[in-house]
Structure 1
Amino acid sequence: MKQRQQKKLSRRLFGAIAVGDAGAVKAVLRAGAAPGRADDEGTTPLYAASVNGQAAIVRLLLSAGAVLDTESSGIGAEGLPLCAAACWGHTDTVRALLAHGADPNVREDHGTGRTPLEWANNGPHPATAALLTEAGATAVTAG
């Protein structure tokens, strides 16, 4: 697919994510949008959907091939999808990411940042923290 066409599809994908339109996301993905293509600022579609708690869209993106551990680098949108969802207490989205194999002990910032559990506890989002703990997240102890 030509780069110009892919860029146009990517803009449509981000637009559909921005308004939470799962039907439009599905249509754009079917038309050939790359589920992992970041926008011009470096924000990934999976991060955008995760930070906004759009569990249905997260599942669509993952089914289409979005990669769980790709860090977003957009301005104000840096980090991992699981950490973003945990930070805001989006339990259904966290559940969707975990169901697709997200590591509950992953650290952002290429292994040097916070874990999803740390973000959930910082919220505080106890239901999200409990879900992460059930999935195997471990609390970090000061050493």
Structure 2
Amino acid sequence: MNRRRRKKLARKLVTAALLGDAPQVAALLLGGAQPDTPNAEGSTPLYAASVHGDAAVVRLLLAAGAVPDAESGRGTEGTPLCAAAAWGHLDAVRELLAYGADPNLREDGGTGYAPLDWATKDVQPHPETAALLVAAGARPRGA
């Protein structure tokens, strides 16, 4: 597959993941789109699905081989688990953990927030998500 086609498929896959279009995501994966290839802005399909909490699309991408801990956005977005935790998307968090996402992995190359930090932020805490992360082994900052 040539570079131009890979870029086009990556753009379409990120868009379909962002929109939660599971049938389109499945079709693009069958058509050769790679589950980890970012679009031109550096966003990965798994991050796009996770930030919007679409567990079905998250599951499709992970089953196709997407790496659950891959950072997205060249430092502007973060990890899929942090994205799902920040918005309290419990089902997406479950899927990511089931596929091996690290509940203690900090964003920004290890210097930023961890998923539990996002789930417990004062502005908009998500106690059920935090409890799920703790059950999966997440440790509070400094612990």
Tell me the TM-score normalized by structure 2.
Answer: 0.93
Shift of the 93–51 alpha-carbon distance from structure 1 to 2, 3 Å rule, reads: same
After superposition, residues 82-101 of structure 1 pair within 5 angstroms as 82-101=81-100
Higher mean Cα deviation, 120-129 or 61-70?
61-70
Deviations 1:82-132 (A, max 9, x none): 000000000000000000001111111111111100100013000100100
In structure 2, what is the equivalent of residue 116 of structure 1?
115
Contact 2:14 2:38 in 1 (8 A): no
Identity level (%): 61
CA-CA distance at 1:19 after TM superposition: 2.0
Separation (CA, whole Å) in 2 of partners of 1:45 and 1:137? 24
Tell me the TM-score normalized by structure 1.
Answer: 0.93
In structure 1, what is the equivalent of residue 34 of structure 2?
34
In structure 2, what is the equivalent of residue 128 of structure 1?
129
In structure 1, what is the equivalent of residue 71 of structure 2?
71
Separation (CA, whole Å) in 1 of partners of 2:41 and 2:8? 15
Q: Which is strand-richer, 1 or 2?
A: 1
Separation (CA, whole Å) in 2 of partners of 1:18 and 1:114? 23
CA-CA distance at 1:14 after TM superposition: 2.1
Structure 1 gaps, min length 5: none
Separation (CA, whole Å) in 1 of partners of 2:132 and 2:58? 17
In structure 1, what is the equivalent of residue 105 of structure 2?
106
CA-CA distance at 1:73 after TM superposition: 1.8
Separation (CA, whole Å) in 2 of partners of 1:64 and 1:96? 13
Pairwise CA RMSD of aligned residues? Answer: 1.5
Separation (CA, whole Å) in 1 of partners of 2:53 and 2:41? 21
Count how many residue pairs are aligned between Structure 1 and Structure 2.
141
